[in-house]
Structure formats: C-alpha cells, structure tokens
Chain A
Amino acid sequence: MNQRVARLAWPVIIVIVWFMLAPTSSVGAPMSSSWDAKACGRVGGTLVFAQADDPDGLDPHEVTDGFSVNNVSNVFDTLVRFTADSTQVEPSLAESWTVSADNLVWTFKLRKGVKFHDGTPFNAEAVKFNFERQTVEKHPYHPRAVGYADFTFQNVKSVDVVDESTVRWNLTAPYAPFITNQAMFATGIVSPTAVKQYGQDFFKHPVGTGPFKFVEWIQKDHVTYEANRDYFAGRPCVDRLIVRTIPDNTVRLLEMERGTVHIMIGVNPPDYNRIRSNAELVLFTGAGLNTGYVSMNTEVAPFSDRRVRQAINHAIDRSALVNAFYGGVGIPAKNPLPPTIWGYADKVQAYEYSVDKAKKLLAEAGFANGLTTELWWPNRARPYLTQPQKIAEALQAQLAMAGIQAKLVTYDWGTYLSKLRNGEDPMAIIGWIGDNGDPDNFLYALLDKDNAIRGKAQNYAFYKSDAVHRLLIQAQRVGDQATRAQLYEQAQQIIHRDAPWAPLVHASRVSAYRKDAQNYLYHPLEITWLHRVWLTK
C-alpha cells in the first residue's frame, strides 16, 4: 500500500506544483503562428506591391491612413498580432500573457533574443519607451501628431518593467478590447535608439523589429525595403520589397498586366472581369470590415420619430446599390457590424425593401403627403462608398419613390466630418472601417451615448439609448468572448428596432495579384503583410 502511494506521490506533487505556478487567470499561448504555417516555396527575388498613394510617414505612432499602414506593418511588429486570416490575435513580440483576477493588470512575457534592425535589443524597457513616447505629452521624443494612441491605449494607466522580458500593463478599468488594440499597427514597437538618433526625422528613417528593413524612400514614387534575415519568425521569402505609388487604378492594373507590379489594391469594378479573364492574374474578393450607412439625426425632427427612420430603411433597395456601384461584390447591410466580425447578429431580420411599408410608416408619423429633407454625401470616395455622388443620387431617387424629397448636400471630406460631428445634418451618408475586428470598435464608437457629444461626436446619429449603453459597457468589461458576443447580439437587436441608421452595404475588400506571387492573402483588416509571399520566378 505504501509503495503504491509512494509511486503516486511524485506525479501528484508535480501536478500540484504545476497548478500553483499557473497564473491566476490565463490566456493561452499557441506555440506557432498561423503565419509560420505558410512556407516559402522559393526564397529570393523582389516583390512589387502598388497602391494609390505614398505613405504620409513611416512612423507607426503617427500615421492614420491605409497607405502608410501598408508600409509600416512590414517594418514594425506589435506585442500580439492578428492571425493570417482573421481578427483573432496571437503572440508576436510577446510570447504569452496573463490577466489578473480583477482584469486590471495584464502581464506580458516578451520573446527573448529579438533585435531591432539597428542591433538594439528588444526588451521591456523598449516597450515602456514606446508606450510613453506616444502618451506622455512632455516626452522628449513625443511625435508631433499621434493619431491613434487615445484609442489604442484607452483605459491604460501605466506600464511597468518587471524584468528584462516581462512587462506589466496597468489598466484603469477592465477593458476586454485592450488585447486586440495591442495588435494594431499604431502600437508598433520602434527602436528607442533610432528615435533618439533621428528625432523629428524618424518618420523617414523607420527602424523596427519587423520582417523588412527600410532602405530608401523616393517621395511619391516608391519605398524600398530589404529582407530582415534575422527576423524572429523566419526571414521573409523575398529579398526585397518595393511599395510603389501609382495613383490611377487603371494604370496600376496595366503595370500589373505587364509584370512590373505583382500585387495591387484599388481596382475599378469595371475591371473585375478583365482581371478574371486574364490567366496570369487573380482577383481576390472577400468580405470587408466596413459598413456604409445613412445616419439619421435622431435629435431633430423628422428623424426623432422612429417610424420615419424605419420608413427610410424600408425605402432603400440595397441590392440594387450593390449591383450598380459595388461591382456586385458587396453585401447589403442590415446591421452596423459587418458579418466578418464575431458577434455579428445574423438573427436580425433585415428591413424589407418595400415602398408601401415606407409610405405607411410615414403616414402613421404624420407625413402622409411625404416629407422634405436633406441627404448629405461626402465628396470623397471611400471603400464603403465607391462613387459617392452617384450613390447619393440613387438614394435620392429611391427615397423619392416613397414620397421623401431629399435635397443633396455635399462638402469635402474634412468639412463634412466637422459638420457631422456638430450634428448639422438631418441625414448623412457615411461609413466606418473597422480597426481591430472587435465589435466594440463599431458599436461603442458609433452608437453609444458616450460618443454623442456635439463637436466631438462619432455617434453622428446622436443615438442615446441607455439599454444599449449598459450592454456595451458590460461587454467591454467581460473577458470571455462568448458572453461578449451575446451582449452584442442583444445590443444589435435594440439598435435594429430603433433604426438610428439605415445600414447600406458592407463593401468587399478587393485586391488583384499575379499568379507568380504565391501565399498572398488580402487580410480582412485590409492590411498587406507581405513577409510570407514568395515569387515563382
């Protein structure tokens, strides 16, 4: 008997010690990255990626536009990163992380032996430096214009260096989306040495830990990168990466047809079939992380009446819009969230396209003889709004069939946003592109009453629902994704019923590339990470 007990003793002791050493609440750390699974069929060559505009700068802490993001994402790494084909996160510069029981302290274990492109070692001090550079106003190396830190570090109080490879983040409130935000390009880790060396000129001398090292930037023409052969996740397949700037979509396509460009974004819908019928090219379309919608000012008549808002929803023929303006590859929208995001409420019943129902609701609201209002549209094409003027005119015509006379009003982008924030519009076409694949990024930012403040609002509808607010705040605090999804589902049902918006469409993300470029996948976040792309010749 003693023998048997004795033989069990060691395993039992080991198990007990194991659990004692386990963290209080842990989030896992898979051993290999979804990106690593994509092997290089051939190593070498120069990959050419082309897009419509030059980056504004190459400092991840400053840039906000997609063209810059496509560049910096290949030079800098973040603590965690998005998986190759979803908005879930996985380890990157951080190998693993744990959260305290009260959800206020996140502790990251950093990968060891990683170096920046200039040889500086990557460590906890660097992480702290990066955080403070962006958030501390008086920091000697604070960039001039930090666009995202208010968002990516919301609810973060401070960062502590525990030891060389352990960093502790202290939050002011439990905030589940925190981890997703640490995968965003804006939290890219820059080399403190390089920042100190280049100061204000760092934006043209980027130094990170990423798969590609910066070589040179010929303004408005191209940026050249070379492979970081010591990259911790394995060197990129190609030796060099060129990111070219070619403003016209057609000219860019012609270059790709001739083979001088391998991968491009920005394709004119009329060219879809041309690409599809070209044996050397591939047209990639996938669901986009965006929503184009009509926002109605719920604080002003007639849109303060829910029936009018619902009438608008019935009066719009979304499928017609998709076919006419999105090359047939968009998805008619019924929710503020795009279907690519977890937590999307598929059970919501879309408002049926019915002019009769629209007229009936209008009559109930006292507008039996129709109503006159304005429909605002932004003078700038966006992914979710491919041809703003034509789409506005189409909507105007659709609304007219239901007796709604909408005068078209437009401003250029900057002015438009200012006026919308001030609530100067009765009804406006606008949209949102997701930043991190978290439902909070859409619902809280755009439909919570916290964000309905004149002059600063992103809740352009000024929709203030206590019920929705309670759900969204709770979802921010809860760590478990399944519970959060349920809360978001409930919120979407309420939003759908209250109809502060008429969601229009989720534009698909479209990209085109040559068959010589293998392993290319246009990520749902519409960011081009190119380190696993290899060239057949």
Chain B
Amino acid sequence: MRKTFADILIRKAEEDEKLVVLIGDISHFLLKEFESRFPDRFYNIGICEQSMIGIAAGLALNGFKPVVHTIAPFCVERAYEQIKIDLCYQELDVTIVTVGGSFDYAHLGCTHHCYSDISILRPLPNIDIFCPGNKKEFKNLFNKTWSNGKTKYFKLFKSMHEEDFDINPYDCHIIEGDITKPLIFTCGHTLEIVKEKQNIIIYLPTIEPLSLETELKIVNLLKKQNNCISVEENSSIGALGDKIFDIASRNNMLINLKKTGIPRKFCTDYGTADEHREILGLTKEKLRYV
C-alpha cells in the first residue's frame, strides 16, 4: 500500500501542479523519488502534526492541494481539532493519508495504535472517509476523489484483501449470498475474513459519505433481512457498525446488528497484528454469528 501511495503521488503530481506533499517526518525514504522530482512541492515539516494540518490549510487557502502523510494516531488523534477547524470547518481540499491502521504497529505498543480514527472523524462534516482494502481500490478511490474540494481521509492498512472488483467512491460492492442469513457489512482488508461466507456481503471502502443510491441499496437489503453483522478492524464504537445503525435510524428501521470490531480497551500486548486479531476474534475461524 505504501509503495502504491508513493507511485500515486508522483503520477498525480505530474498531472496536477497544485499537489504538495507534507510529511510528519515519516516515509522520507519511501518518498525520495517524489522529493527529488518535485523539490518545491515536498515538505518534511517535522514532528509537529497539529501545525502540519494548519499549514496544509494555509496552502489550500491559496489554491494548492496538499497531501498530508503520517502515522494515524499522531495525525488524527493528536491533531483532531486542527482537522475539525482548519480543514473541515474551512471546507478545504486537503487529503490525509495515514499508515499504521489500528494495530499495524502492534509491536510498538499502544502509543502507535489507532483504532478510533474513523469513529472520531465520522461526526465531522465536510470530510470523506475511506478504508481501502487493497492497492487497486486505494488508487481508484484516490484518483476519483482527487480535487473534489473536500477534506479526505484514507486509512491504509498493511493487510489487504485479495478480491478484484471495481468500486467507485461513495458506493458499495455487494457479494450475493443467502438472504436468509444475516447481512455482513465490512470494509477494508477484513473482507478477506468474511468473503467465503454464504451470507450477502456489503463491502464499503467508503465510510463517509455514501451516495443516496448506495444508502438506498442498503436500506432495501435491510428491509429483506434486518439481522446483520458488521466486521471491521476499527473501534466497534462509532465506525462502520454504527454507520449501519445510523442508516437504519435515518430510515426509521429497527435492525438487529452484531458489531464486530476492536472493543473499548487498549491492546496492551505486543507481537503482530495477526496475534491481536486472534485474541479479538477478528479471524475467519473466530468470527461469530456468520
């Protein structure tokens, strides 16, 4: 995913002279080629993520389209007020791309984990939120939303799903299945752990906002089957699962939803992301109610 990100940036910078990259002292090696090709559009701002968001806002106020890149917790959780006020409130076209999704940096401990980024960004107006599940999706979502005038957040995980389909931003991909079984909602790489189930799977790499057509598709499915399960590697509070609740609520529907995600706790063990998934039940074998 990170290499894809580096490639996308170069291609997009060739097309759009307004693209400027700001990094918070990570990925400097990864972005070496970008830096050498576009030295006046590459800024390793330093370890000051809050100011980096404000600086991105200033660039956007003067017509540039900044891409801000750092590790998820240091950007979203540390600079939350800057994202809210400097970007969303001012309605600016700034793209944030983070790595270290959830517990990708498992061995580095909880300071480097970020389970709640989607949950805290979802209530903010004027930000598009994406959890792409593989390189192709990321590229597609990034390119199709580029220059749309909005703040955008891309959460990149190390893990990817292996499915190959085309999907547009703000849309879902439905994998047909047995309507008598609970619907499965998922996003990002966790598609991989549910894809062999017999249930209907609604895959949503866009978390916010969904198009009206997409929401209607979901509502129509919920009318036929109001038992459902959400599966995501985000906090189980406020992210995709609650998005489904919100859709149901807006449409005056009662649904039964089992939320599967990361519980309200610090994952204080180290090791690998897979070991955490095992403990949290986020594996093909351990998923319940499917």
Physical interaction between A and B: no
